[in-house]
Structure 1
Amino acid sequence: MISGNGLILGASQGIGLSLVKQLLAESQVNRVYATYCHPESATELFSLQATYPDKLFCHQLDITEESQIVDFVKFLQQDIQQLHLGINCVGFLHDAIQQPEKSLKQINSDNLLRYFQINSIGAVLLAKHLLPLWKHGDRSVFVSISAKVGSIGDNHLGGWYGYRASKAALNMFMRTVAIEYARVSPRTIVITYHPGTTDTRLSRPFQKNVPPEKLFSPERTASQLLQLITKLEMPDSGQFFSWDSSKLPW
C-alpha cells in the first residue's frame, strides 16, 4: 500500500497524470505534490486540484533550472517534513523541432545537450536537493522513469543517439545516487524504471510496430509501477526495473 506524502514530477499528462489520479484515490496518501512545466498542458491537473484542494498541490517547475528546484524544495519543506514517494516522469524524445537521430550525420551538439539536460541532469539535481526530505525513519522510494533503449547491453539496433545516451546517463546517475543514499538516507530506495511502450504523446509517432498487447494505457503503466513500488525492498535500491518487475541489463 502506498502511504504518506507523494511527489510526481512531470504530472501534467500521460504517466505522471495517471499516477496523480491513482495516488489521490489511495486513502493512506496524505498529500500529493505535482509539478508541470507548461500551464497550457496542465488543464486536467488543475481540474483535479480543484476537486482535491486539501490533498493535491500543483507547482510549476522546470527541472533543467537548478534555482527552480531549490525554490520548489523550500516550498515543500515549509509544508512537510517528510517525503515518502517521489517519481520523476519528466522526459524528452521529440517535438516539432527535434527528432531522434537515425544516423551520425544527424548528430547536433545543441540537441544532444537538450536531451541530457532534460533526461538525466535534471534527475540528479532533484536527488541532490530532495535529500533532506528523505532523511527520516520511514521507508521511502525515489523513482526515475528511464527507458529500455538506455540499456547499453540491450542495444542491438543503434540510432536514437541522444535519447539512448541520456537515458544511459540517467541510469548511471541514479545508480550512483543509490550508493550515496545508502550511506546518508538508508531507508530510501532509488530505482530507474522502464514503463514499456505507453500510449502517450512521447511514443505516438513510434507505435507502428508495437504489438497491441505491448502498448499500455497510461493508467495501466501507472498501476504497474505503483504495484512494483509496494514490493520493493532495500536491496533493490540502485536497480533498473522493467514494467514486468524484471531487472534490465545496464
Structure 2
Amino acid sequence: MKSTINQGNALIVGANRGIGLGFVRKLAQEPKFTQIYATYRCRESATELLAKAGEAPERICCLEVDVTDEGQIAQTAAYIKQKVGKLHLVVNCAGVLHEGSLQPEKSLKHINPELLLRYFQVNSISSLLLAKHLLPLFRHGEKSILAAISAKLGSIGDNQLGGWYGYRASKAALNMLMRNVAIEYHRTSPRTIVVMLHPGTTDTRLSEPFQKNVPAEKLFSVEHTVTQLLEVIENLEQADSGQFFSWDGSHLPW
C-alpha cells in the first residue's frame, strides 16, 4: 500500500558534500521535515554543510560521525532518540571510491587486502551498523524509509567490464546486507521500507577523476540526482522493501 511521509524527521549520513549535501539542501525546502540531522566526518570539509545549518539552526542539526566507528553511530542514534524519538527518512550517502592510495583496481596485480577492507568498512558495513542502531527510531508505526546509496557497478548481473574489484564487491555486499536488513525489518519494524539506490553518475568529487568518458547527458548535477532519488523514495510502496532501484525508478539486477 502506497503512502507518503506527511511529516517527520530525517537523517542524512555523509552530508558534508556531494549527494548528501544535496539532500540536506533539498529537504530544508520541504516543510514536512521538521528536523533534519546531517552527519559529517571532518569539520574541515563540512564548511558548506555547517553554513547551511547556520541558516536554519532550529531545523538542521550537524553531527560529527565516522561511519566506520560503531560507537559513534550508537551515540548518534541515542542522541536523536533523546531529542525527537523517531525517524522517518534515513539516507546513507557515505561512500568511498578513491582517497589517497585507495584507487579503483584495474587488474589483480593492484589488489591490496588493507585497501579492500577500507572499501567494505565504508561502502558496506556502515549501512549495516546504521540499520542495527537506528531500528528503535523506526518502530513508531508510521511510514519510514531507510535508503543506502549503492551503485550500478555493484550489480553482478550487469558486470561486463570487470575491474574496480573493491568498489564493485563492496557495493554488491551492501546490496546483500541491506536485503537481509529488509527481511528482518519486515518482522521488527514492518512500516519501514529498506532500499538501495543507484544515483547515476553525478558531478561530485567521487566521480570527478572518471568523468572524461561520460557523455554530457549522463553526467547529472547533484540537484538533478537528489530530485530524482527523492521522487523514487516518495513513490515507494511496502512491497518495494529490499529492492535495488536506479535513479529513474527502474529495478536493477542483482
TM over 0.5: yes
Question: Which category describes the TM-score, using the shorter chain as reference length?
Answer: over 0.9
Given the two structures, how large is their TM-score scaled by the length of structure 2? 0.97
Q: Which residue of 1 aligns with 2:12?
A: 8
1:200-211 aligned at under 5 Å gives the runs: 200-211=204-215
The aligned residue for residue 150 of structure 1 is 154
Letter in 1 for 2:239: P
C-alpha separation in 2, matches of 1:160 and 1:82: 38
Match in the other structure for 2:189: 185
Structure 1 spans left out of the alignment, 5+ residues: none
Q: Which runs of 4+ in 1 moved over 4 A?
A: none
Identity among equivalent positions (%) equals 61
| 2:77 is equivalent to residue 73 of structure 1 | yes
> Over residues 70-108 of structure 1, what are the superposed CA-to-partner deviations in whole Å (9 max), with x where a residue is unaligned?
111111111011100000000000022211000001000
The residue identity in structure 2 corresponding to 1:191 is V
**Cα separation, 1, equivalents of 2:114 and 2:100:** 15
> 1:98-157: per-residue Cα shift (whole Å, max 9, x none)?
110000010000000000000001110100000000001100001000000000000000
For 1:159, the equivalent position in structure 2 comes to 163
**TM-score relative to the length of structure 1:** 0.99
Return the alpha-carbon distance in structure 1 between the equivalents of residues 36 and 163 of structure 2. 37
Q: 3-state DSSP class of the match of 2:86?
A: coil
Equivalent residue, structure 2, for 1:53: 57
Secondary structure at 1:189's aligned position in 2?
A: strand
Contact 2:14 2:20 (8 Å CA) reproduced: yes
Q: How many residues align?
A: 250
Separation of aligned partners in 2, 1:121 and 1:64: 8
Match of 1:176 among 173, 176, 180: 180
The CA deviation at 1:58 is 0.3
Counterpart-to-counterpart distance in 2, 1:137 and 1:176? 21
Tell me which residue corresponds to 1:134. 138
Q: Contact 2:80–2:86 at 8 Å: present in 1 too?
A: no
For 1:29 and 1:96, the matched residues in 2 are separated by: 37
Deviation at 1:237, TM superposition (A): 0.2
Match of residue 121, structure 1, among 117, 120, 125? 125
Residues 1:110 and 2:88 aligned together? no
Matches within 5 A, 1:228-243: 228-243=232-247
User: Which string of whole-angstrom CA distances, capped at 9 and with x for unpartnered residues, describes residues 36-95 of structure 1?
Assistant: 001111001111111101000000000101011111111111101110000000000002
Partner letter of residue 22 of structure 1?
A: K
Partners in 1 of 2:69 and 2:129 — Cα distance? 9
